[in-house]
């Protein structure tokens, strides 16, 4: 297919100092949980994006010195020359496809506690260091500042030696010394590096100049800066000092990479912000500089991208999460294959990899993080190994992805859904407040399946063991999902809670199916992800009196790993939801719920006309167990395998369900190798 002429502007080259990007698609720096510890996986993962058409591919943060050690996060490192070969793997891989490689040099100053290096943290002034660490940073003297500038120079030289085309000076996300010196709340110095904005910006200017002097003959020098911290007068704002800093140095770097701070705001989930949501804060930048400007906004629509360029908001379309969800997004636009784009749903499951120091994962793209260790390519899947048919029971995220993968491989696939609507839990959850973008998980897969003549879809087809036997497919996949428990069993309660055998107990399944309990409602959240909080939001918006009790320290506590925790607490509290942390449900009485402190066991009561239990789920595995029990009878019917996947095997996240479906689609017919099912990297 030919490219739509409306999108031609996206494929114009952009000059960035001494280098040229082949188009306007720019993968901004983002973490991936691989970094210095898994350099081969890092290189191949970034290479796939270059192959997919991104003109610039950047690393994550790259530590320049042991005194800026971000352990336990696994980022990039350029502490000394020994780090160069690992990073050169990435630049060589990116260059193979004609893309530019960028590196984000950083010293995290008081944002890190140096848990590995055990160096004393540094800051513009004496202040606590790290997130919760009982550690303090010492105020840098002038000798420390000179040393920091030399560390940055040395790292820039090493970056050039490693083959990078763009070298960053980083002043964003409340995570870098250059930003910390800018901030009045962190910088209380009385010398030439403190006080006035000109003084507080002195270090940033000096480091830009140092970097240009060191590598500017062949490498572009980019500055990434948060122009608004969304703290009002307590922080940098786009109407105040954020604008003023850009104006002071408008023509100094070769490119401005602009965003908001901190990371919770920059990578806002779709539940809390729309595509292009940073525009009100960053639109001013191009009005005061002639240098190219890149920015982010979870861009997935090519029309939105074109609008950003034509209206003079950005010169290059920056992306982290959309490039994760679809590394081939630029090529699909270029080739006129818009229906094939896997749009980011803005769930931030990708962020959890960095928070856990584990390889990145993605709800939409199950191959993310598996490119090197499993050899998975997002657009290529091996062909079938035999002329066989596959029957899949259940068209939720696992079943849809399994059908898509097997269909691409060339198998004859029969997808049977018990209901009339495809998508399973994705359909129901996408109707909850703020989660509408999640329907893209279903829509992308249906678009692909509808193109395949070898895939048949059967709605309103609840399968029994007899149906399966009569169908006669060689392979049967059970993807029938899971069901929320209503007995209170979860992490805090290992046995059923007394009193829950009553019609006034509801589960998320009931609420999503249309049940409307009357208040006062108690939501007991022992799941700790989004469900408890989003149901509280929904029921409160419907005018109910709602309290959310949880054994955790806050509502939806696990969302700290998806950068949503603070946003969720704020929204619930402003809506009037009562949050009761550190409490375990121990009984339900006629007119109240009985809670116990998780630390002391002290009992308390709360009025309760209806209880919503958000605790754990059970797999819908009746069909699977019934089929497995038939054993030899199945073999007689020509059925070679029966496999449960996704929530039907063990309930988990939507991302895990999609991954399970994809993994089974790739594994069917492949020889079992035994041992660890993926490659590992070992220290040289």
Running DSSP on this structure, what letter comes out for residue 267?
Answer: T
Q: Tell me how far apart the alpha carbons of residues 621 and 482 are, in angstroms, rounded to a whole number.
A: 8
Instruction: Tell me which residues are annotated as active site.
Output: 31, 170, 173, 266
For the residues of 591-658, what is the DSSP string, one character each?
A: SEEEEEETTT--EEEEE-SEEEEES-EEE--HHHHHHHHHTHHHHHTT--EEEE-GGGTS---HHHHH
Distance CA 452, CA 450 (A): 6
Buried/exposed code over 261-284 (b: 16+ C-beta within 10 A; e: otherwise): bbbbbbbbbbbbbebbbbbebbbb
What does the alpha-carbon distance between residue 644 and residue 664 come to, in Å, rounded to a whole number?
10
Contact 500, 487 (CB under 8 A): yes
Rg for the chain (alpha carbons), in Å? 27
Cβ count within 10 A of residue 144: 16
Give 212's contacts (C-beta < 8 A, 6+ positions apart): 221, 252, 253
Separation of alpha carbons 94 and 189, rounded Å = 42
Q: Which two tokens stand for residue 549?
A: 């009790």
Cross-strand pairs, 610:
521
Give the number of C-alpha atoms closer than 13 A to the C-alpha of residue 577, restricted to the C-beta side: 30
Would you say 579 and 518 are in contact if contact means Cβ atoms under 8 Å apart?
no
- Burial of 671 by CB count in 10 Å (0-12 exposed, 13-18 middle, 19+ buried)? exposed
Sign of CA dihedral 61, 65, 71, 77: positive
| 3-state class (DSSP) for residue 578 | strand
Q: Are 364 and 444 in contact (CB under 8 A)?
A: yes
């Amino acid at each position: 297919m030919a490219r739509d002429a409306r999108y031609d502007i996206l494929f114009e080259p952009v000059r960035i100092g001494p280098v040229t990007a082949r188009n306007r698609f720019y993968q901004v720096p983002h973490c991936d949980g691989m970094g210095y510890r898994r350099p081969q996986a890092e290189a191949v993962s970034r290479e796939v994006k270059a192959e997919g058409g991104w003109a610039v591919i950047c690393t994550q943060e790259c530590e320049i010195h042991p005194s800026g050690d971000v352990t336990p996060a696994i980022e990039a490192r350029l502490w000394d020359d020994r780090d160069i070969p690992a990073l050169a793997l990435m630049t060589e891989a990116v260059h193979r496809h004609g893309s530019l490689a960028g590196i984000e040099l950083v010293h995290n100053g008081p944002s890190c506690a140096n848990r590995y290096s055990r160096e004393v943290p540094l800051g513009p002034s004496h202040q606590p260091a790290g997130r919760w660490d009982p550690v303090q940073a010492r105020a840098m003297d002038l000798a420390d500042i000179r040393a920091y500038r030399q560390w940055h120079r040395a790292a820039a030289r090493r970056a050039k030696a490693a083959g990078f085309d763009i070298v960053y000076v980083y002043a964003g996300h409340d995570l870098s010394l250059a930003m910390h010196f800018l901030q009045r709340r962190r910088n209380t110095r009385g010398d030439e590096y403190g006080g006035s904005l000109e003084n507080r910006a002195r270090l940033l200017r000096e480091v830009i100049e140092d970097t240009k002097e060191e590598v500017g003959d062949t490498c572009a020098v980019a500055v990434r800066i948060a122009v608004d911290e969304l703290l009002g007068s307590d922080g940098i704002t786009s109407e105040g000092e954020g604008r003023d800093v850009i104006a002071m140095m408008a023509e100094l770097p070769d490119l401005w990479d602009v965003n908001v701070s901190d990371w919770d705001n920059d990578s806002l989930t779709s539940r809390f912000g729309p595509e292009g949501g940073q525009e009100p804060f960053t639109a001013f930048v191009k009005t005061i500089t002639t240098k190219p400007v890149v920015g982010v906004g979870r861009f997935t629509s090519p029309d939105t991208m074109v609008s950003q360029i034509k209206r003079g908001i950005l010169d290059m379309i920056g992306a982290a999460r959309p490039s994760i969800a679809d590394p081939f997004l630029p090529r699909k636009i270029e080739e006129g294959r818009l229906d094939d784009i896997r749009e980011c749903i803005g769930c931030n499951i990708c962020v959890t990899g960095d928070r856990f120091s584990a390889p990145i994962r993605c709800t939409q793209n199950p191959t993310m993080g598996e490119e090197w260790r499993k050899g998975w390519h997002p657009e290529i899947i091996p062909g079938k190994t035999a002329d066989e048919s596959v029957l899949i029971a259940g068209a939720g995220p696992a079943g849809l992805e399994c059908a898509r993968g097997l269909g691409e491989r060339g198998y004859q696939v029969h997808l049977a859904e018990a209901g009339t609507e495809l998508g399973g839990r994705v359909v129901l959850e996408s109707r909850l407040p703020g989660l509408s973008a999640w329907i893209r998980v279903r829509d992308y897969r249906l678009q692909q399946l509808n193109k395949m003549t070898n895939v048949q879809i059967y709605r309103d087809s609840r399968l029994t063991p007899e149906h399966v036997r009569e169908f006669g497919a060689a392979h049967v996949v059970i993807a029938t999902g899971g069901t929320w428990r209503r007995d209170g069993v979860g992490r805090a309660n290992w046995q059923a809670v007394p009193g829950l055998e009553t019609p006034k107990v509801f589960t998320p399944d009931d609420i999503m199916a249309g049940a409307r309990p009357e208040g006062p409602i108690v939501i007991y959240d022992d799941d700790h992800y989004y469900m408890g909080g989003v149901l509280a939001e929904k029921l409160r918006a419907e005018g109910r009196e709602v309290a959310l009790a949880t054994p955790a320290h806050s509502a939806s506590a696990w969302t700290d790993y998806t950068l949503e925790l603070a946003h969720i607490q704020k929204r619930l509290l402003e809506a009037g939801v009562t949050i009761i942390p550190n409490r375990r449900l121990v009984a339900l009485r006629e007119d109240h719920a009985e809670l116990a402190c998780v630390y002391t066991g002290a009992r308390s009561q709360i009025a309760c006309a209806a209880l919503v239990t958000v605790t754990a789920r059970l797999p819908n595995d009746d069909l699977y167990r019934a089929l497995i029990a038939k054993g030899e009878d199945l073999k007689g019917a020509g059925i070679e395998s029966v496999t449960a996947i996704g929530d039907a095997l063990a309930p988990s996240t939507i991302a895990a369900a999609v991954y399970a479906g994809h993994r089974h689609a790739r594994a069917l017919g492949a020889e079992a190798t035994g041992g660890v099912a993926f490659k590992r990297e070992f220290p040289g």
